[in-house]
Amino acid sequence: MEFSPEVFLNKLAQTNDSPFLIPVERAEGIYLYSPDGKRYTDLISGIGVSNIGHRHPHVIQAIKNQLDKHLHVMVFGEYIQSTPNRLAEKLTTLLPKSLNCVYFVNSGTEANEGALKLAKRYTGRTEILSCRKSYHGSTHGSLSVSGNEVKKQAFRPLLPDIKFIDFNVEEDLKQITTSTACIIIETIQGDAGVRVPSKNYMKALRSRCDETGTLLILDEIQCGMGRTGTLFAFEQFDIVPDILTTAKAFGGGLPIGAFVADKKIMRTLTHDPMLGHITTFGGNPVCCASALATLEVLENEKLLATVEEKGKLFEKLLQHKNIQALRRFGLLFAVDFDSAERVNRIVEYAKQKGVICYWFLSHPNSFRIAPPLTISNNEIRESCEVIIEAIERS
């Protein structure tokens, strides 16, 4: 019963009619292992989570150390606990000085929910702007500012006062006005198929927000934590957000997210009303221990320095006449083909051969590659051989 497909399909809630159905008994580094011993190369990092690989020994040890002290003891914001303190101190030392105050939550969508509430509370405004084709999460607020109408229609009505503009189109920035509380934007649009803005656009975005008193929220839930070669992608555009959101790879495999802002902004959640935002499990000490260890691994093992070199190797090896486009930023890829059906055949064949690629929700003509940053050059070569074979057979 442990790995029964029938139990999985009937006793666990399903998210779609064709789940991937890989039975996973254990994971280590860039690999997953099924009960029969089959090995799978995880080229998607559990959808952007395992940036330092599965079960990194430094992370495992940090988790064990915290388990010997205590688990949950109180809701967020009340008790002083060593591990959340250390994580907040570490994270803010790695960020620009205006991003100096952290609110820990449990996931990426919760981080975005908190950021949206914070922006409305601080500015006293209600209008929110987002981008078409964006993805910010599946809870009501995050879904409201996501740009995929197919995913939203069945759940309307959603939040009011939401407007959408086109990503990387400077002319549309004029729609940010003195009535706008915030604009929430992925620094790199992930689910849309790895869309990278120009530096000029990002600078114009920052400037327009400054002109209108609008808070800029950068969602780095997928593209952060070293994925692009810097700890956060915004560092490569010479701008600083008013609010930063992070999750996924932040926890090193455990569930944790955060929104980060200046203390003067964050303080508005403490009064009128008190407990303007609250979470029971946000800042869980075990999750914080894992996140802190993850930051230490990224720093101590100098993983960021190898991202661009490895990304270029993937790009060099993934050459085929059937590939219509390949978009890359660091170790985040979208590989385009002429149809979703071809993409499905490629992904399924690669899975059979033990290499895991995956689809994008909002761009079905592409598959994603986002491997652990720890992947070796030889492992890249082996994986690309399988992918090229899958393309040939598609």
Across the range 363-376, mean pLDDT stands at: 96
Decide if 66 contacts 254 (C-beta within 8 A): no
Instruction: With cut-offs at 50, 70 and 90, classify the pLDDT of residue 235.
Output: very high
Instruction: Assess if residue 197 is contained within a domain.
Output: yes
Q: State if pTM tops 0.85.
A: yes
pLDDT tens per residue, range 257-299: 999 999 999 999 999 999 999 999 999 999 999 999 999 999 9
User: What residue numbers bound the domain in which 239 lies?
Assistant: 58-300
Residue 226 has pLDDT above 90, yes or no: yes
Instruction: State the CB neighbour count (10 A cutoff) for residue 224.
Output: 28
Instruction: Assess if residue 16 is contained within a domain.
Output: no
Q: pLDDT value at position 4? A: 93
Q: pLDDT value at position 1? A: 78
Instruction: Assess if residue 158 is contained within a domain.
Output: yes
Residue 7 has pLDDT above 90, yes or no: yes
Instruction: Assess if residue 328 is contained within a domain.
Output: no
Instruction: Assess if residue 394 is contained within a domain.
Output: no
**Measured CA angle at 328 (ends 323, 330), to 5 deg:** 145
Domain count, the chain: 1
Instruction: Assess if residue 175 is contained within a domain.
Output: yes
Instruction: Assess if residue 234 is contained within a domain.
Output: yes
pLDDT averaged over every residue in the chain: 97
Rounded CA-CA distance 30/383 in Å is 11
Across the range 324-350, mean pLDDT stands at: 97
Rounded CA-CA distance 279/270 in Å is 13
Looking at residue 142, which CATH number applies to its domain?
3.40.640.10
Residue 187 CA from chain centroid, whole number: 11
Q: pLDDT value at position 362? A: 85
Strand 257-261 with 215-219, pairing: unpaired
pLDDT tens per residue, range 149-192: 999 999 999 999 999 999 999 999 999 999 999 999 999 999 99
Instruction: Assess if residue 171 is contained within a domain.
Output: yes
Q: pLDDT value at position 361? A: 81
What dihedral do alpha carbons 187, 95, 237, 295 form, nearest 10°?
A: -60
Across the range 112-126, mean pLDDT stands at: 98
